[in-house]
Structure 1
Amino acid sequence: MSGGTLARDVQRLMKGATAHLSGRGRRGPDSGEGRRVPRRHSYDEADPRAKPWARIQDGSVAAGLAHREAMIATAEQLYVEQWRKFPLAEVRQVRAEREAAAAELEELAARSPAEVPVGRPATLRQRLKDLDQHLAEADRRLHRIDVTVLKALLSFLDFSTGKLFPAIESIAAKAGCHRNSAIAALKRLKANGFIDWVRRTTMTGNEGEFAPQREQTSNAYYFDNRRRMAKRTWLRFTQILTAKLRRLGRVPAGQAMPPTPDPSVPQARGSMAEALASLGAALSRAST
């Protein structure tokens, strides 16, 4: 071993020992609560990809509040609709039916081919596929806590910039629930198109020390409602939002389903017809 290599190894060990004794090199858990290790598809907080936000409506408090209230109202209506479509008793019955079908298929697989009724395994496999699809859709339905978490999340929204990156712990504290409940709610809200997010990382300040140099930080949340929401949910959201903005006298040009203007008739600048003709684009920009 050369003298230079030995010197570097000694220096590295001394840095590690110093960091350990001072507590600066202590590493957080790799998974679960308090996770700090950077996850895949994460971007540095200074990276443009970690800044997905866009101004909400015209950036004013009044229009921003209308946007927030419309989103919450849409979530509340969807919650009621989904639980009417997938009542708890019915979901339990479907789960029981799936378990019975899976058990029968397993039992048939243990028999000799001559003992298996013709076509029965194929019938059971198709039935299991249909039941799994039904249960997957039921599992995506919003819960009451999801609406509460959405309200909590949106309370951190900066209307003028669209910036939204509270920590999970802050969202949970605002919603009055456990951290794990907040995480589950955010996942269901994402599955229903209300929110999306980008994972971010930040430097630890441990440069030159025997310790992690980068760790996970809070997600950057944003809205891509027009693309991610189901069409029916999106239309409901735009209708509620347009009604609220009209009451404020702040209708951004247009509405969710504007009438097609006659191109042969020029529209006066600033007219209601001109405003209605471009609302779809404005709502799309507000939802990215």
Structure 2
Amino acid sequence: MSLTFSSTPTLKGFGQIAGQIAKAVDGSPRDRGTDRRVRRGCIDETAPEAQPWDRNRFASTAERIATVESLVVVAKELQAEHAAEFRRGSKKQLEEDQQVLTAELDELMARPPADRPVGRPAAIRIALDQIAAALAKHSMGITRADVAVYEAIFKFLDFAGSGRWFPSWAKIARAANCCDKTVDRALKRLKHHGLLAWVTRSTRNSPRIDPTKEKRVQTSSAYFLDLKKRMAERVYQRFLQLREHRARRFGRSAATEHVQAPPPPPSKDVAELRRTIAAFGAYLLTSDGHLA
């Protein structure tokens, strides 16, 4: 490791460098701040609230496939709606209009009250509020990258029955072929639309240098599905419709396989069958040619 100084370091600078070297040698996790800040919004990973795995369990493979496929389709439909509402360049146009109106409002407010056009400042403020709402809606719109992240995160859901689901951002980014920042933005949008939920988990860790100084550090995020509570009613009803359609598809396939006729027995030689039938008829007939 090489150290390059732009100027002569001070005593404080040497102290900071020594602390960084000690952390690198120690191999302890990254310092995330004081215990109070890390614990805010985090749940201890041993607590029942930090293990919401029962919400990720499915009764059958058909239910799991139908649910996952329907959720991905819902995400794609939301992305299509967002793309249709906000065309390419619409965000830039909104930002330019916001700057123009803000400058006009500042110029009007700098005038004496008697020189201001009646109602114009109020109209500008209303327009600015509408632009701010449109920009906020645009920032939470589902994108193609969000759909890719959503499809990738389902690869880490344990479908074997436990329902455990806590992949790191790095694993999700590799599966979705994107960066960690894209995963961060995608998760926020997916959570906003109710497609995904999670709880942040933490634990207490003792540094190797001073084991007596325990510090709470964030470990992972436990993901789970809470669709009915967090989804918009329109989106949730669409999800139920898609899942029911796929469930009926699986049901018809299973019923068809169940009532399918068994394969016929292997055919015998025709001559052998004739001899068997003739012998059976001779056994049934009496000597006078009538049935017994």
Q: Same fold (TM over 0.5)?
A: yes
Note the 1:211-222 alignment, pairs <5 A: 211-222=213-224
- Which entry has the higher C-alpha Rg, 1 or 2? 2
Q: Aligned equivalents of 2:24 and 2:88: distance in 1? A: 53
* Cα 1:134/1:221, change in 2 over 3 Å: same
Equivalent position of 1:190 in the other structure: 191
Gaps of 5+ in 2: 1-18, 253-292
What TM-score do the two structures reach when normalised by structure 2? Answer: 0.71
Task: Please tell me whether residue 236 in structure 1 is matched to residue 238 in structure 2.
Answer: yes
With normalisation by structure 1, the TM-score equals 0.71
Q: Which runs of 5+ in 1 are unaligned?
A: 1-16, 32-36, 251-288
| Percent of matched pairs sharing the same residue | 37
Alpha carbons 2:32, 2:217 under 8 Å: kept: no
Residue 67 of structure 1 deviates from its aligned partner by 1.1
Q: How does 1:21-100 map to 2 (within 5 A)?
A: 23-24=25-26, 26=28, 28-30=30-32, 38-56=38-56, 58-100=58-100
SS, match of residue 157 in structure 2: coil
Deviation, structure 1 residue 135: 1.7
Q: 1:161: which partner in 2?
A: 162
* AA at the equivalent of 2:191: K
Aligned to 1:141: 141
Amino acid at match of 1:218: S
1:267 aligns with none
Contact kept in structure 1, 2:56 and 2:163, CA below 8 Å: yes
Q: Per residue, is there more helix in 1 or in 2?
A: 2
Deviation readout 1:108-161 (Å, 9 max, x if unpaired): 122222221122111111111111112211221111000010011111112323
Match of 1:272?
Answer: none
In the alignment of these two chains, the number of paired residues is 228
* Distance (Å, rounded) in 1 between the aligned partners of 2:67 and 2:56: 8
SS of residue matched to 2:26 = coil
Bigger drift between 66-75 and 50-59 goes to: 50-59
Q: Deviations over 1:64-84 (max 9, x none)?
A: 122111111111111111210
The answer to whether the 8 Å contact 1:168/1:218 transfers is no
Across the aligned residues of Structure 1 and Structure 2, the Cα RMSD in angstroms comes to 2.6
Q: Which sits farther off after the overlay, 47-56 or 206-215?
A: 206-215
- Aligned residues of 2:56 and 2:164 also touching (Cα < 8 A): no
Aligned-pair distance for 1:174? 1.1
